Structure 1
Amino acid sequence: MSQAIRFGVLGCGRIVRRGFIPGIAATPGASLQAIASRRPGVARDWADEHDVPRAWDSYEELIADPDVDAVYVPATGDEHARWTIAAAQAGKHVLCEKPLARTVAEAEQMIAACNEAGVILQEAFMWRQHPRAQKTLELLQEGAIGSLRIILASFSFDLPRTDWRLQPEKGGGAMWDLGCYGVDASRFITEDEPVAVHAHARWWETGVDMTMQIALSFPGDIVANIDCSFEAPFRCHAELVGDAGRIVLPDAFQPGEESVILLQRSTQRGAPLEEIPVPPANQYACQVAAFCESIAAGRRLAPAEDGLANMRVLERVLADAHRNRDR
């Protein structure tokens, strides 16, 4: 690209400081032009801390900024549709945090608005752009573990009980926040959509799922077992099991700068796991770079996720969990 994509950020949350700002700083084709917060003075403090040229005390002002080409939406789930649509109508490309929306209907409205405006909408599943994800697909396609049979994915941590993610009206729940990764990974790995969905949950007093078990069946008799929880120790693990071996992905959705793939090329008990090297990478920088490439191309480039297909599966998962709750 001849000119860097100028980003604006709608909010000053944890993921912005921990992930997006370092990621964009490490991306030559991008710059952080503006940041907004609805808490008076907060955006200015962050802008000073991170050398951001502009600070706004409202999201509307940032979206109207003519020197912003794209916005990053890290807001609570109930605000994704509102600000994505507003940004699209202002001609801004949108990188939106996962899950894309609270419902399939909201996601469809967001996508329609972006298509009508001719802007790119990408869901922020940053792990997809990390080189380990592509290397994993290559190993599967090479038959390193034979024919894929089972996908296992676990993601959990102990969430403070005052967190907004326990509020259903904001799109809270372990499935929306954590289970979405396992569902997305299963679809990414199989390069297909599930033909059957089953789910069971333990529910919190607010009405959201606190812990959930998800079972997906894919074409080719591939099964995925996914668990997620807000009331368990930190776990972030994925394993792909074939009829001739297995692949283990430690820190599956949060790989550090240095990450590995563990490969067992045997079904024998005690067979060694070899380490497959992966180029060092910041997954947030990978995500920003890929998004900028999509903007330059005028279309979303693989392996970026548009979010709608994943939303359709997640909505089915939640519906099945509610049906099983009432039995």
Structure 2
Amino acid sequence: MAAMIGRIWGAFNPPTPPKSKDALKFGVLGAANIAPLALLGPAKSHPEVVIQAVAARQREKAEKFAKSNNIPEVKNSYQEILDDPNIDCVFIPLANSLHFEWAVRSIRAGKHVLLEKPSVANSTEAEILFNLPELSKHDGPVLLEAFHNRFYPAWHFFRSLINPADVVHVSSNSMIPWWGTGKDDIHFNYNLAGGTMMAMGTYNFAALRMAFNAEPEECLSCDVTPGTEGVHKKCDYDFTAKFRFPNGAIGEAHSTLKGPTMWTPSHVTATHRAVVVPDKTLPADQEKTQSREVTLHGVIHGIFWHRIDVKDVFEIRNKDSGSVIKKWTEKQSHKTYSFNEAGGEFEHLPGETNWMSYRYMLEQFVNRVKGRKTQHWVGQQDSIAQMKMLDMAYEKSGLGLRPTSKYTSSVE
């Protein structure tokens, strides 16, 4: 308990080293509640990041946000941030429906972009955004969909324990208690590209894709509880979706923004088929098989708590008859709050036990902008594939795709 308290305290009260002369200056588009957790806090401990400016729809709101977060400049508009040659990067935590327009505007203004997930409202927008010609230039802007949990050590250690070629089933679950959201939240506004799949569900879908290391071939089912009136009508309050992946593998995802009172950690479980493992101690007419189940508890915010459980089931079988001669189970559990704790191929990677997933992500983002090597990344085609999966589920649910921005008509 003491270690957990110290780790979390350190995450919210990080060391603040001096900023380098060539530190990247960020502008924040929108005084969003997620910004302090996703960028402002992590930036404190990064010597190459300065939060320089913020703009909001109401200047008064931006001024209040800037004062409470020690941001030196308040701009009158989002565009004013983009027009400022002193700003190197922008963070876009706006409503989903505004991601496309302001990401495109930012890239065309020559700014590097850290874009909140989901990147856009649908795959039509994703295809346009992530294929902008500016992104293919050697010295062009960097664009990253902010899937922060995919940069966390526990996620990479989890993936090292599975063999996607042998995975036959993956399930992923997440939730937010009913008291954590209100009916007027942007998550429940169709015009703002809201919905549970767009909110928590996108984490679940990404977990399936990464565990299989493949894209879904079909959404077999997607059951939702939709809103009943006005802008809420086409928004899913919860969902349960099933996908078919290559070779008949099945992926299942569930999430709700109206969950039970008690919050429970997100998790993903990958189940392997039984495979033959070499064992020279066995007679020639016998073989040893292994089937594995790996569960990562705490997929999304691993710093608060997570655990990786590994269950291996072994059997000794007669090759001819297939009869089981012996069967046993071995279990292990792991926690990896830093890459050093993960050990092996990971131990040389940067990070501290009090780094949040957002801080790990910021490290890689800065490295990419600075032209240095990045160990982990969410590529442009990856983000397009992610939106195609969301579209697939929304089509199957009967709610239809999230609306496409009118700004797409101005992008040649």
Same fold (TM over 0.5): yes
Query: Match of 2:31, SS?
Result: coil
Q: Does 1:24 align with 2:43?
A: yes
Q: Distance in 2 between the 1:27 and 1:153 partners?
A: 32
Q: Does 1:241 align with 2:261?
A: no
Alignment of 1:154-173 (within 5 A): 154-157=173-176, 158=178, 159-173=181-195
Q: Distance in 2 between the 1:277 and 1:287 partners?
A: 16
State the identity as a percent. 21
Seen in structure 2, the aligned counterparts of structure 1 residues 301 and 120 have a Cα distance that, compared at 3 Å, is: farther
Q: Distance in 2 between the 1:231 and 1:323 partners?
A: 18
Match of 1:196 in 2: 218
Match of 1:285 in 2: 359
State which of 137, 141, 151 in structure 2 corresponds to 1:119. Answer: 141
Query: Match of 1:265, SS?
Result: strand
Contact 1:262–1:276 (CA<8 Å) still a contact in 2?
no
Query: Match of 1:99, SS?
Result: coil
Q: Distance in 2 between the 1:7 and 1:194 partners?
A: 36
CA drift of 1:283 comes to 0.5
State which of 387, 393, 396 in structure 2 corresponds to 1:320. Answer: 396
Q: Which amino acid aligns with 2:251?
A: A
Query: Match of 2:67, SS?
Result: helix
Q: Distance in 2 between the 1:254 and 1:94 partners?
A: 22
Q: Does 1:275 align with 2:334?
A: yes
Q: Which amino acid aligns with 2:308?
A: I
Deviations 1:101-144 (A, max 9, x none): 11212122222334267211111110111111211121224x9x
Q: Does 1:214 align with 2:241?
A: yes
State which of 151, 155, 158 in structure 2 corresponds to 1:136. Answer: 158
Query: Match of 2:258, SS?
Result: coil
Query: Match of 1:150, SS?
Result: strand
Aligned alpha-carbon RMSD (Å): 2.6
Match of 1:231 in 2: 258
Q: Distance in 2 between the 1:27 and 1:320 partners?
A: 43
Match of 2:370 in 1: 296
Q: Distance in 1 between the 2:299 and 2:372 partners?
A: 30
Q: Distance in 1 between the 2:77 and 2:375 partners?
A: 31
Deviations 1:128-166 (A, max 9, x none): 11111211121224x9xx932221111122231121211
Q: Which amino acid aligns with 2:213?
A: E
Q: Distance in 2 between the 1:149 and 1:178 partners?
A: 24
Contact 1:294–1:301 (CA<8 Å) still a contact in 2?
no
Q: Distance in 1 between the 2:385 and 2:357 partners?
A: 22
Contact 1:125–1:305 (CA<8 Å) still a contact in 2?
no
Q: Distance in 2 between the 1:102 and 1:298 partners?
A: 31
5+ unaligned residues in a row in structure 2: which ranges? Answer: 1-19, 274-290, 315-326, 339-352, 401-412
Deviations 1:234-271 (A, max 9, x none): 44222222242322222211212564322223378986
Q: Which amino acid aligns with 2:188?
A: L
Q: Distance in 2 between the 1:73 and 1:187 partners?
A: 25
Q: Count residues in correspondence.
A: 321
Q: Which amino acid aligns with 2:161?
A: L
Q: How high is the TM-score relative to the length of structure 2?
A: 0.72
Q: Distance in 2 between the 1:84 and 1:276 partners?
A: 36
Q: Distance in 1 between the 2:92 and 2:119 partners?
A: 10
Q: Distance in 2 between the 1:313 and 1:299 partners?
A: 29
Q: Distance in 2 between the 1:305 and 1:182 partners?
A: 18
Contact 2:23–2:49 (CA<8 Å) still a contact in 1?
yes
Seen in structure 2, the aligned counterparts of structure 1 residues 247 and 29 have a Cα distance that, compared at 3 Å, is: farther
Contact 1:81–1:101 (CA<8 Å) still a contact in 2?
yes
Deviations 1:185-208 (A, max 9, x none): 111222211122122222111221
Q: How high is the TM-score relative to the length of structure 1?
A: 0.89
Match of 2:341 in 1: none
5+ unaligned residues in a row in structure 1: which ranges? Answer: none
Q: Distance in 1 between the 2:393 and 2:34 partners?
A: 26
Q: Which amino acid aligns with 1:94?
A: V
